[in-house]
Structure formats: C-alpha cells, structure tokens
Structure 1
Amino acid sequence: MTDQTDRLTVLFMPESAYGPTNQCIGLGKVLLDRGHRVVFAAERSWEGRLAPLGFVEALVDLAEPDPDASEEAAGQFWIDFINETAPEFRKPTIEQLASFIQPTYQALIDGARYCEPQLRAIIEEHRPDVLVEDNVVAFPALLTSGAPYVRIVSCNPLEVRGDDIAPVFSGYAEDDHGPWAAFLEEFDRTHGETWASFNAWVQEQGTPALPRRDFIHTSAAANLYVYPEALDYVAARPLDDTWHRMSSSVRETDEDYRLPDDVRDRPADSALIYLSLGSLGGADIGLLQRLVDLLGTTRHRVIVSMGPRSDEIRLADNMTGDAIVPQTKIIPQVDLVITHGGNNTTTESMHFGKPMIVLPLFWDQYDNAQRVHERGFGRRLATYDFADEELLAAVEELLGDSALRQRCAEVGAQIRSEEGLRVGADVIERVGLEHRAGR
C-alpha cells in the first residue's frame, strides 16, 4: 500500500470499446490496490460500470448526446459503428483502407475534437499526476496538461511502424515483402488528407506535429505495449528505451466462472472450446451463428460469448453461453480458443497457453491472426470463405497436436511469470512519482 504522501492521481483515457477499456481497468485496479486514486475519462456509455470497481468516473461524450436515446450498452458508440460497416469486413485488407479504416479514424478524430473542451475541464478538476491514453488518435488535452503522458498500445504492435515489418492493418506475412509498398501507397492515398487536417488541428491545440502516417504521439516519458515476446516484432523493428513490453495484461476484476454441469461432465473424448468474436464482432450474428451451428455437430463442449445480439443466437445442445462472459476465468479452463483475433483475446490465450483458430474481422485482427499462424500457435482461416470441413479439421488438428499444446503451455507459463499487468502499473507509477518529485 502506498504512503499517503506518495498517493498519485492517475487519469486513464481509454478508447470506448471493451478491449482498450478492459485493458485500462486491469492496470487501474493494480494502481488502486496500491493506494492511488484512479480517474477514468471514459466515454459516457460506461457510466455506472467503473465506479463499482473503485474508480472515479469523469466521463465524456464523443458526440452530441441524443436526448431520445435509451440507456446504451457500454461501448455502444462502436457497436453501432461496426453494425453499419460490417459488410466491409468481407473485402481484402487493402480495400478496407478506404471503406473501413479511414472512416474509423475519422470517427475517432471527430470524437477527439468534440470532447477536447470536456477533457480539459476534467483535467483541470482532477489535476492528475500522470495521464494514460489507450487509443489510436491523439487527445491534445492529455499532452498539454503539464503532467506526463503515458501511451498504451493495446492493439497489435505493428501500430508502431518500421521499415522491416508488415504495414499495420494489412495482415501480410513477415516473409513476403512484395505487397507492402502498394498497401502503404494506398494508405497514404486514402488517409493523407485526413491526417493532414488532424495534424493541423492538434498543433492548434498546442501539441507537437504528428509523426508521418500516425494519428497519435509517442510519449517522451514512457510507452507501453501489450504483446508476448513469442509473437513480438522487436527483432525486425527495435524500440528505444521509452518502450516497455507487457507480455500480457490479464485483468483481475472478472468474476469466477463455474462450468455448468453438462459442460463440465463431458465425455472423455470431448474437449472444451471457447468461441468469441469479441464485443463488436459478435454483432455479426450471421457469422457467429454459422460457427455455432458447425461446432454443434462436434462431440466437443463449447462456451460461447454471444455478444450484443445474444437474444438472436441459437446455441446447440453441447453449448453454454451468455452475452458477456468472464473471459479471463474461462480461457484457463478450455483446450482451444476460436477467436476474432482481438489483441486482448490473443494475448490472454497466449498467457494461459491455449492454441487458437483465428477468424479476423477488422482493424489489427488480421495482423494478430497472421502472427499466431506464422509463429505456429494456431491457424488463421478466411473468415467468410472457409469451408465447413476446413474449420472442423483445424479444430481436430489443434486439439490432437500434443507437441503444440506442450509448447503453448510452456510459453504461457513464461508469460505469466513476467506479470505484465504489474510491469505496466510500475511504469505508470514511476512516471507519476518522478513528476511529483520534480515539481
């Protein structure tokens, strides 16, 4: 427990979706347990969900509130956005740059512009000793407060660009550089004007210019990223000493999970599988239902994270599930994870030593899917074009590969020993204490 004289006020500004917010919740809980005061400048749909964990809610609107709207689910801003753009996920990643990636950046930028006065007021009220952002666009108020800023990359770390690694969002292989240049050229064509406009605006708010192709600043104080060494890119793209790797970041706030009797007492030849397309990908109920139906034909038991439209999903007799499940308490109990490749699920599966089948939908999920595949920790499948027998064969192959299961278990044990959550909390705490000492 921290002495009261060293008690910091830490302000987190996570992107609205479950992944980044849960990432910050995990770090915030460690800091809270150390006696620090933790403030969340989260998006308003998280109201009432953070205070019960002990955090101060200082919430922001990312757009003009709708007075006629009913109470929203946490992260509803992005659930709605994903629902509207889901058809784009069937396109090759280079085509998604114009139809999905650029509109996503624009939506994030619009939110940053809209909430800038709110964020400045929150910082003025709470006067944090250190500010932490887990997002992919800059919020100038975080850089101009006078307190140090820590950046978290909780997406795939290809987000930190380099000449010898594949372009972020591409899902391209590490050993085939051929398509990289065309992808970057298309990125510049589709994002150049958006970047230039945002770069001008953040400088008007008092921040330095943005790095080329980036919509967020690297911190001079400290930067964190969440990725295990077994999947990392640092051999091809070294990082300077402001960067700190959290091999995993598994929050400790999930409730315990007891397997239902009919899932726990399964036949000896039946494995236990966890199926999740994430809080946003689960909105694609056509894809989720297809996976449910296919896995329903197997002898295995399946736990399904059913997502925001759970009332529309029909589970098979060998399954159990709910709209939201305590993922970090489920993954340790299963034999295989079938996932969309979100960074949280990918790194949590590695943390607990579980092989994966990855069906990417958007953003960095293609990069995670490719990395898991090319590093031999699972299989990447074409999300909308896989054949039924291809998925079923991959399930049996991974479950029957004892050498892979042993390798996953050994890597998982190493990751857990590194206590990534506390590594991140230590960095944030150090930056805050050094700033206070220097006042």
Structure 2
Amino acid sequence: MADRKLTVLFMPESAYGPTNNCIGIGDVLRQRGHRVVFAAESSWKGRLAPLGFEEELVDLTPPPEDAAGQDPGQFWKDYIAEISPEFRKPTIQQLETVVRPIYEELIEGVKYAEPQLKEIIARVRPDVIVEDNVVLFPALATAGVPFVRMLSCNPLEVPGPDVPPPFSGLSTGDHGAAETFREEFERTHGEMWTAFNAYVREQGGPELPHLQFMPEGDLNLYLYPEIADYVDRRPLGDGWHRLDSSVRRTGVPIRLPDHIASGDGSLIYFSLGSLGSADVDLMRRVIDALAGTGHRYIVSKGPRHDEIELAPNMWGAEFLPQTKILPLADLVITHGGNNTVTESLHFGKPMIVLPLFWDQYDNAQRVHELGLGLRLDTYGFQAEEMRSAIESLLGNAGLRRHLEEIGETIRGRDGVERAADLIESAAR
C-alpha cells in the first residue's frame, strides 16, 4: 500500500496564486511517481501539460468565441478591471459592491461546472481530490474519495470570535468595528449563503458552516507562516495543518539587465499581482513616486504592460518569475496577495503593502501590526509618504536581521514536501 502510485486531482481557483500553489505541491507528487491531474478552468489550456501534469479543462461560463486566445484567468482579470473603482471604498462598503458580487460569480461557476466535474471524476478516477478555492464544488466532495480543502487565502477565512472578520482589514483588537462588520456581512451575504447551502445539499454535499462557503475536508491545509498566524487567538482543530509557505521549485534563474543587476541604491520589487496591475492609473502613480528615489526597481507590469512606461531606474515585463526575483530584492512593494506575502516572508523580505480587495486588507494589516512591514493607503498615499516608508524599512537593520531569521525558519519547514506527505497520507 505504501508504494502504491496515486492519482491526485487538483482543482485550483482560476487565478495565479491558487494555481501556482497547487503546481508547486503537484510537482513534488509528480516527482514521487504519482499521476497528477488538474481540473483547470479552460483559459489554462496548454499551460499545465508542459509542466508534466494532465489537463482536464472546465468551463465556468459558456465559452466565448475567442476562448482559444485567452490568457490564464482572463475572466477574473476582466471582471476585476470592471469593478476596480469600488476598491477605493472602505472595506465595510466593499462587502456589498465587491465581495458579494465575486461570491455570486463564483457560485454561478460552481453550478455551470458541476456536470462537467462529475464527468471528469468518472474519467480520471482519482484517489484523492484537492480543491483550492473559496467556494465548494459539490462534485469534488461527493466523489467517494478523500477530499482535501486547500486554503491559500488569509486564514481569517476560517472565522472566530477573537480574530478580525475576513475581508475587513481590521486590527486584532478592534472588537467594536469587528462586530459591526460581521453584522454587515450577514446582511449582505446571508440570503446568498442560505441558497448556496441548499444547492450543495441538493447535490449530496455536506452542510456548510454558517455564512461559510467551504466546509472542512477530510484533510485541511492552509498557507500562512507561523510568525503571522492567528493561532494564539483562533486555534484550528486537529484536522487543520499549516504550510508556512508553498514555493514552486520550477523555472530558470532570471537574468537582469546590467543597470538593474548592479548600481546604486537597493533593489526593490514592485508588483500589484496579475489582477491589481490592470489598474493602470494606480501603477503609474506608484511608478512616479518611485522614479525620484535613488534605488533600482523590478516591476511586474501585468496584463496591460504596453500602457505602462517605466522610469530609467526600472526594468520589468508583463510576467516575471517572482520566486526567482524575491531572493535578490531588499524590499517588496505588494498588493498583499497571500502568495506574495507568504513568499516574501519565505525569503525574509520586508514589505510595503497597498491592498486592493478581498483578503489583501487582512494581509496588509497583519504585516503592519506585527512590524514586518508597512501598510499604506492604496489610493491616498503621497509620494513622499511612499519614499519615507521605503527608507524606513531599508534603514531598519534589526528588522532585516529578524526577517532573515524568519525566512530561514520558514524555508527549513519545506511546505511543499509537507503538503505532499499529508495528501499521500489522506489518500492511503
């Protein structure tokens, strides 16, 4: 039994963060001789097979006529670009204008994909299924094999009375504002949750926890470094296992142009993620603030790269191998996506966080309140405020030593190997 080769079916949410997390873990399982299959949203066609995985494509909406030319996760890039003006609102207002519409879109995708997933499961015959998403696809939890829940968002997604509510960006001690936020979440999401819970039960799935859109699995993995976790205030049960990081071991070393590889000042990495970088006005505003400093910058330009002009002290491209760049950087300016935050801590780097939506506010607040970086007002910061934050973090030798030690500890825990071990155990 111990040597039996397994068939592992991954279904990540169609965005780079969850997909890259599953790729890293899947690659370890593949190298151990297991068959690894991705039930990937259709815009990922041809992107996973070259990495050694089998592809089973899933449509979440009726396919567009030009689907063959779509970039991975294109649906969400377009959708986020459409609602991005709402990111300027306080988080409690975003519950109605950002968070609920995203859940609604996700739920529609669940319903459209359900018959496709049943066919894929019957064809693939997995030994274990791993879902990395914020809503349950019932077919995955009713397949008669162990179901692994992967949580690669901020772990506040699993709520508790002594921690801030998810999506709020509140500090851990702001109890009054937290209760107000929870009440607004129930007002804006309660009816939708009730209907989705009924749908899941109709498909033979489990009862969902109140106001949560994912149940616990037979095995539950979550991605967050211990140094930033909330276990002192909201311990999770024995069915939960933390991965301090999940960094892919794929890709080749990056070659930087000479004026960036060496020169005056520190080397700083700037990325708003594949979705946030679609806000060209914000990208330009940050670039203008950085252009007047004495440092060098690597800029992830994103899907609208042809509309973004970099200053002479910068270099960048549409896509960059983030895990190859982070070890070289002295500082990271980020939107606060969970993968970027955990990868920055994995490599021991301080952060300036400019949150936009979803759990990015929670990550930004956690980094700020633990002194691992600084949170700035994404749309309200002044250029001098950004420059002051950069110099403050670069000049804090004690913080940089502390982060180097944190990074060394996280890397020693080897999250992708641990995840592969746990998935194997769940299957067997």
TM-score by length of 2: 0.99
Q: Aligned-pair distance for 1:217?
A: 1.0
Q: Aligned-pair distance for 1:380?
A: 0.3
| Preserved CA contact (<8 Å) 1:42 1:59 | yes
| Preserved CA contact (<8 Å) 2:60 2:112 | yes
**Equivalent residue for 1:368, pick from 363, 386, 407:** 363
**Equivalent residue for 2:225, pick from 216, 224, 228:** 228
Kindly indicate whether residue 329 of structure 2 is the aligned counterpart of residue 334 of structure 1: yes
Give the distance between the partners of 1:255 and 1:326, measured in 2 at CA: 9
Q: Aligned-pair distance for 1:255?
A: 2.7
Q: Aligned-pair distance for 1:254?
A: 2.9
Kindly indicate whether residue 414 of structure 2 is the aligned counterpart of residue 419 of structure 1: yes
Aligned length: 428
Where 1:21 maps in the other structure, the secondary structure is: helix
Match runs of 1:129-208 below 5 Å: 129-208=127-206
Partner of 1:380: 375
Give the distance between the partners of 2:334 and 2:126, measured in 1 at CA: 37
| Preserved CA contact (<8 Å) 2:153 2:359 | yes
Q: Aligned-pair distance for 1:51?
A: 0.1
Where 2:214 maps in the other structure, the secondary structure is: coil
Kindly indicate whether residue 247 of structure 2 is the aligned counterpart of residue 250 of structure 1: yes
Partner of 2:320: 325
Partner of 1:81: 79
| Preserved CA contact (<8 Å) 1:275 1:337 | yes
Work out the percentage of aligned pairs sharing the same amino acid.
61
Where 1:150 maps in the other structure, the secondary structure is: strand
Match runs of 1:17-36 below 5 Å: 17-36=15-34
Partner of 1:402: 397
Unaligned residue ranges in structure 1 (runs of 5+): 434-439
Where 2:381 maps in the other structure, the secondary structure is: coil
Give the distance between the partners of 2:252 and 2:318, measured in 1 at CA: 15
Q: Which amino acid aligns with 1:87?
A: P
**Runs of 4+ off more than 3 Å:** none
Q: Aligned-pair distance for 1:389?
A: 0.7
Partner of 1:266: 263
* Superimposed CA distance per residue, residues 128-158 of structure 1 (whole angstroms, 9 cap, x where no aligned partner): 0000000000100011100010001100000
Q: Which amino acid aligns with 1:372?
A: V
| Preserved CA contact (<8 Å) 1:12 1:131 | yes
RMSD between superposed Cα atoms in Å: 1.0
* Superimposed CA distance per residue, residues 298-337 of structure 1 (whole angstroms, 9 cap, x where no aligned partner): 1100000000100000000011100000000000001000
Q: Which amino acid aligns with 2:169?
A: G
Where 1:178 maps in the other structure, the secondary structure is: helix
Q: Which amino acid aligns with 1:6?
A: R
Partner of 2:294: 299
Give the distance between the partners of 1:176 and 1:170, measured in 2 at CA: 11
**Equivalent residue for 2:384, pick from 385, 389, 393:** 389
Q: Which amino acid aligns with 1:175?
A: G
Q: Aligned-pair distance for 1:429?
A: 1.1
Give the distance between the partners of 1:163 and 1:422, measured in 2 at CA: 32
| Preserved CA contact (<8 Å) 2:269 2:331 | yes
Q: Which amino acid aligns with 1:272?
A: L
Partner of 1:436: none
| Preserved CA contact (<8 Å) 1:254 1:327 | no
Q: Aligned-pair distance for 1:68?
A: 4.6
**Equivalent residue for 1:63, pick from 61, 67, 70:** 61
Give the distance between the partners of 2:140 and 2:85, measured in 1 at CA: 35
Partner of 1:278: 273
Give the distance between the partners of 1:11 and 1:40, measured in 2 at CA: 6
| Preserved CA contact (<8 Å) 2:243 2:418 | yes
Q: Which amino acid aligns with 1:82?
A: I
Q: Aligned-pair distance for 1:259?
A: 2.0
Give the distance between the partners of 1:70 and 1:34, measured in 2 at CA: 32
Give the distance between the partners of 1:361 and 1:53, measured in 2 at CA: 31
| Preserved CA contact (<8 Å) 1:355 1:405 | yes
Give the distance between the partners of 1:265 and 1:159, measured in 2 at CA: 41
Q: Which amino acid aligns with 2:343?
A: E
Give the distance between the partners of 2:131 and 2:28, measured in 1 at CA: 17
Give the distance between the partners of 2:410 and 2:63, measured in 1 at CA: 42
Give the distance between the partners of 1:131 and 1:73, measured in 2 at CA: 25
Where 1:211 maps in the other structure, the secondary structure is: coil
Q: Which amino acid aligns with 2:375?
A: R
Give the distance between the partners of 2:64 and 2:170, measured in 1 at CA: 40
Give the distance between the partners of 2:214 and 2:258, measured in 1 at CA: 48
Give the distance between the partners of 2:192 and 2:286, measured in 1 at CA: 37
Q: Aligned-pair distance for 1:67?
A: 2.0
Unaligned residue ranges in structure 2 (runs of 5+): none
Give the distance between the partners of 2:92 and 2:419, measured in 1 at CA: 33
Q: Aligned-pair distance for 1:69?
A: 4.9
Q: Which amino acid aligns with 1:307?
A: G
Tell which deviates more after alignment, 67-76 or 406-415.
67-76
